[in-house]
Chains A and B, each alone.
Chain A
Amino acid sequence: MAVDAKKLQKDLAKIVGKEYVFTDRPTSLAYAKDTMPWDVEKHNMPHAVVRPVNSHEISLILQYANQKKIPVHIHGSATSLVGLGRPKAHCIVLDTGRMKTLEVFPERGYFEVGPGYHIGKLRKALAPYNALLPAFPGSELIATIGGFVSVNTSAHAVDAALFKPGDYVLGMEVVLPTGEILQTGTESTRKPAGIEVTKFFVGSEGLWCVITKIRMRLIPLPYLKNIVAYYKRTDDILNTVMAMYKQGMPTPMFFEYLDEKSSKIGFEAVGLKAPPGAVAMMAIHSSTQAGCDEKAKNFLEFLEVGNPIESKIVTDKKEWDQIWSSRAEAGNYIYRLGSTFGSEITVRTDKLKEAFHEARDIILNLDSYQGNEFFSFGHIGAPTIHAYAFIPTKDIPNEVKIAVAQEVRGKTEDLNIKYGGCGGEWGLTAQRAPFLKKKYGQTYYDLLVKLKKTLDPNNILNRGNLEGWM
């Protein structure tokens, strides 16, 4: 449907004020691009970017969009790694960036935050309350809490130790796709039992609602003790993770690893001597210092199961900061040196090693590109295998990038299906919509479509994500 840009601007300006509506192409383009390694295409270009400040304005925008049948794409910070952040149709981009109120109520045991608050800033703001924010993305600097709750991801944290952010959400204010404003949940720290819709909106990836306020538990900050372990091979780390679950060991809050190649890059990047092989880093948590010390000692003993070359508790902060940052730096350097195509494989814990080997074979034998390398690092304790295809140049045509991304995504997701997993941090729509059908079947997918139609009869919100996009 043809949209009159001037009229659209005028109509939206009546709702949010003219300084918060943008119809210039440069601004639309900046909002259309996401982390996907290929360019914005014509159909990604929005008609306008609108920046509301509260739920009332969002309600009016959605009522208007329904009336005019214009899709609305919700924008947090577009850091999704599966294309959730890119508009899939000519639309109004609804930027939640101005919605960043924060009220902390220690006497009630929770805080209330607007969806546009950046994770890194929120963590700092909660520090005086000795509170833990259960979200640890690599994109912490810019990722928003609204995006996090709408995908329900704890990112780097080990779910078995910390659960998902949604488990700590007590209630929300949301605007339905047709413009109604809902309050959900409770102001008590005890969550409702039985039928209650907060959990229906948490993790709904912008399909059911726009989240406009999140009420979340203040979680006491745990004590942490850090362990590093050096191994000859990545397989030793995989054996350790499998044994951890099999033996019922308390899982660390973080359990990261670098494979043999990534560890060299990461360690050298932070000024450390290259390790002899793969490296695992763990943060053991407990509510008391004594408990933490004991758990760390027990875990160190347990690590012998994987035959490490060396494993030790690291108490020196500077040393730990260097070791810990080598994980992020490995990623940064690999991204800098070429083009990287990632995957998210979260299989049954007893199949971890098998799946890892298959993932490596898939990456090293791509049909869409020959001569790429294989890297792997990330949250193995979760367990998540991030298997990366690395091509040592950025100068690749768009169509090749898309083909490689599709092949890596499709084949590694077949591993998720084969070994009983479904991913655990990147969300399940946009690029992953075909996986949803494959994994759970047509009836499951049809149910999602029915729910979407019930809540959003004109398919206004985040159009294209549930339909699938690549």
Chain B
Amino acid sequence: MSQKEAAKEMLLEEIAKCRACRFCVDVCPTYQASDGVESMSAYGRLQILKYLIRGTLIFDDALAYLLYSCLQCRRCEVTCQSKGQNLDICRIIQSGRHLLSQNLVEGRKSERI
């Protein structure tokens, strides 16, 4: 297994812990700024990342925007720690961005990572 594949597997394992309880959405500043669009929340980003890594979603402008608009403020993590699954949500999103960035830098569009 390549390093990239191993990183994907590790990320998928982490994301699998998310129960989709959505307790984190309401504290997310980008969710609030969008007046409640769920793909603009921590929960939404975890789901998007999961299906991006699995190849169900392809990366395009909408997806890149959703992943890169996270402010990394960690408010979601406080909620996840006290009410949910205690996930390092921001680190997971950062790792997802890292995987995505290599493709974006190479100028590729609308592909699987």
Complex CA–CA separation, A145 to B107 (angstroms):
46
Contact with A30, one of B13, B47, B60 (Cβ below 8 angstroms): B47
Within A113-167, the residues touching B (CB, 8 Å) are 116, 118, 139, 141-142
Complex CA–CA separation, A34 to B18 (angstroms):
11
Contact code string A209-235 (vs B, CB < 8 Å = 1, else 0): 000000000000000000000000000
Decide if B36 touches A29 in the complex (CB within 8 Å): no
* A215–chain B nearest beta-carbon distance, Å: 23
Complex CA–CA separation, A116 to B66 (angstroms):
23
In the assembled complex, B105 has its CB within 8 A of some CB on chain A: no
From B19, B41, B57, B84, residue with most partner A Cβ within 10 Å = B19
Contact with B37, one of A22, A33, A118, A395 (Cβ below 8 angstroms): A22
Interface secondary structure of A, over-half rule? loop
Contact code string B13-39 (vs A, CB < 8 Å = 1, else 0): 100110111110110000000011111
Chain A residue numbers with a CB within 8 Å of B25 are 142
Nearest-CB residue, chain B, relative to A75: B38
Chain A residue numbers with a CB within 8 Å of B66 are 26-27
Complex CA–CA separation, A98 to B19 (angstroms):
24
Decide if B48 touches A335 in the complex (CB within 8 Å): no
Known A-B contacts A79-B22, A141-B79; the reply to A51 vs B37 at CB < 8 A is: yes
Nearest-CB residue, chain A, relative to B12: A395
Decide if B84 touches A24 in the complex (CB within 8 Å): no
Known A-B contacts A141-B79, A336-B86; the reply to A22 vs B39 at CB < 8 A is: yes
In this complex, the interface size class of chain A, counting residues with CB under 8 Å from chain B, is 20 to 34
In the assembled complex, B94 has its CB within 8 A of some CB on chain A: no
In this complex, the interface size class of chain B, counting residues with CB under 8 Å from chain A, is 20 to 34
From A79, A98, A394, residue with most partner B Cβ within 10 Å = A394
Contact with B22, one of A40, A77, A335 (Cβ below 8 angstroms): A77
Decide if B21 touches A31 in the complex (CB within 8 Å): no
Complex CA–CA separation, A335 to B17 (angstroms):
9
Chain B residue numbers with a CB within 8 Å of A77 are 22
Decide if A27 touches B62 in the complex (CB within 8 Å): yes
Decide if B48 touches A29 in the complex (CB within 8 Å): yes
Complex CA–CA separation, A247 to B66 (angstroms):
58
In the assembled complex, A332 has its CB within 8 A of some CB on chain B: yes
Complex CA–CA separation, A136 to B59 (angstroms):
40
Complex CA–CA separation, A34 to B63 (angstroms):
20
Known A-B contacts A24-B62, A142-B22, A335-B19; the reply to A33 vs B47 at CB < 8 A is: yes
Chain B residue numbers with a CB within 8 Å of A34 are 20
Decide if B86 touches A26 in the complex (CB within 8 Å): no
Nearest-CB residue, chain A, relative to B82: A332
From A30, A116, A332, A395, residue with most partner B Cβ within 10 Å = A30
In the assembled complex, B85 has its CB within 8 A of some CB on chain A: yes
Complex CA–CA separation, A78 to B22 (angstroms):
8
Chain B residue numbers with a CB within 8 Å of A468 are none
Decide if A98 touches B36 in the complex (CB within 8 Å): yes
In the assembled complex, B83 has its CB within 8 A of some CB on chain A: yes
Decide if B63 touches A24 in the complex (CB within 8 Å): yes
* B102–chain A nearest beta-carbon distance, Å: 19
Complex CA–CA separation, A231 to B7 (angstroms):
48
Chain A residue numbers with a CB within 8 Å of B17 are 336, 394
In the assembled complex, A25 has its CB within 8 A of some CB on chain B: yes
Known A-B contacts A33-B20, A395-B13; the reply to A27 vs B39 at CB < 8 A is: yes
Chain B residue numbers with a CB within 8 Å of A116 are 36
Contact code string A4-33 (vs B, CB < 8 Å = 1, else 0): 000000000000000000101111011101
In the assembled complex, A259 has its CB within 8 A of some CB on chain B: no
Complex CA–CA separation, A30 to B84 (angstroms):
18
10 CB-based A-B contacts, threshold 8 Å: A22-B39, A27-B37, A27-B66, A29-B51, A30-B38, A30-B43, A118-B26, A328-B83, A336-B17, A395-B16
Task: Spell out B's residues near A (CB within 8 Å).
Answer: 13, 16-17, 19-23, 25-26, 35-39, 41, 43-44, 47-48, 51, 56-57, 60, 62-63, 66, 79, 83-86
In the complex, the 3 A-B pairs of residues with the closest C-beta atoms, listed nearest first:
A30-B44, A97-B36, A24-B62
Could you list 5 further interchain pairs (A-B, Cβ under 8 angstroms) beyond the known A30-B44, A31-B39?
A27-B66, A77-B22, A116-B36, A139-B23, A332-B84
